[in-house]
Homo-oligomer: A and B are copies of this chain.
Amino acid sequence: MPGSTFGKHFRVTTWGESHGPALGCVIDGCPAGLSLSEDDIQPYLARRKPGTSAATTQRKEDDLVEILSGVFEGVTTGAPISLMIRNTSQRSGDYGNLVDTYRPGHADYTFDQKYGTRDYRGGGRSSGRETAARVAAGAVAIKILSQLGISVYAGTTAIGPVSLSAEQLASLTEADFVNGRANAVGMPDAAMAEQAMKYIDDCRMQRDSVGGVVECRIDGAPAGLGETVFDKLDALLGQALFSIGAVKAVEIGDGCAVATRKGSENNDKIRIQNGKAAFESNHAGGILGGMSNGDQIVARAYFKPTPSIYQPQETIKKDGTETVLEIAGRHDPVVVPRAVVVVESMCALTILDLLLANMGAKMEHLKKLYR
């Protein structure tokens, strides 16, 4: 069974290769009655766009999205929404020497093993460009969530060894994350962003690449999102974030750190504040038993350094001989800054899908809508 669809209720199916004529997605299950136009989506694509800083490639991609269906007179109709982005900037010639050679750290070898054939132009289906389609869909999800009082925002919290401390993270507000979008690495702390930028520059000089971390926060989600057992909120966030190409680890709340804690340190006490349940700490990242607990939801994705580096690398060719590869073309020395909006998109898609799933959770809901 194929894997290009995410979500069970708000179903997003992406399609397209980096060097084909276009890429896009179909959203099936978008509620009717949402005002929607290209202007709601374009700003998110702009955030993903390369070429905006020294941290990203110098390719120019316009990434203009077209709404092909599902919207009538400016309002969603309940019909599938088809979004298309033409590929306008690809230079296929750049990838000529990759026809027969497998790039280390890329999916070239595994594609050939799985399908017996491979689109060698720019990574084909596994290109980072595929995420443009997710961002377009994510923009729609974010708009719906915002109408329900839920906000989703992410930022770069580490670039290589330049990492925000726990204290720094604890003090950040949504405004800091939004402001962070202005700097070249998307870090919600201007001083650290400068250090990170410098680190990236150094690595680029060494013809090398860099990894990093993105943290996403979701405010305003009602308690109870997430389905018990396999479709837990954290399980689906895990799938969502690991589905982004370069992610090698995912944390919820305090993540790895909990393994060395004791229960007395890790449990979040529940108190009453302003007449409502409130947690004294949020080690859990807003999720208990796979369901949102009404507190802030926190997830982190760890990205590997871009595998495309401008150094000779030992590898093999399709015919089973060894070779040394030198990669040409334009490649980000780090994908993390551009991945921030992708992380936001995947988290928003997850939350919205579970919000829709939750509608049938109790008889009270059915009676409210149908009687």
Contacts and interface: CB of A to CB of B under 8 A. Distances in A.
Interface in A313-357: 313-316, 320-322, 355-357
Given A79-B228, A125-B228, A161-B260, A245 B289 contact: yes
A283 to B, nearest CB: 8
A231 interface: yes
A238 B118 CA distance: 26
Interface string A228-266: 111110111111111101011111111110111111111
A84 to B, nearest CB: 8
A70 interface: yes
A273 to B, nearest CB: 10
In the assembly, how many copies of this chain are there? 4
Nearest to A24: B82
A311 interface: yes
Interface string A70-109: 1010010111111010000000000000000010111101
A262 B208 contact: yes
A24 B82 CA distance: 9
Given A2-B9, A77-B119, A110-B223, A260 B17 contact: no
Nearest to A126: B289
B33 A364 contact: yes
A301 to B, nearest CB: 9
B78 A258 contact: no
B284 A105 contact: yes
Contacts of A369: 359, 365, 368-369
Given A26-B4, A248-B285, A368-B368, A259 B363 contact: no
A81 B2 CA distance: 12
A95 B213 CA distance: 42
Interface in A199-214: 203, 206, 208-213
A169 interface: no
A336 B321 CA distance: 45
Contacts of A124: 72, 77, 79
Contacts of A160: 259-262
Interface string A1-31: 1111110111101111100111110101101
A358 interface: yes
A194 interface: no
A32 interface: yes
A309 to B, nearest CB: 4
B68 A21 contact: yes
A286 to B, nearest CB: 10
Contacts of A228: 3-4, 78-79, 125-126
Interface string A27-67: 01101111000000000000000000000000000000010
Given A68-B21, A119-B79, A238-B242, A32 B362 contact: yes
Contacts of A111: 77-78, 289, 291
12 contacts: A1-B11, A8-B8, A13-B13, A15-B81, A16-B80, A24-B82, A105-B268, A109-B223, A238-B241, A249-B258, A272-B321, A272-B322
3 nearest A-B pairs in the assembled complex, by CB-CB distance? A107-B289, A3-B231, A3-B227
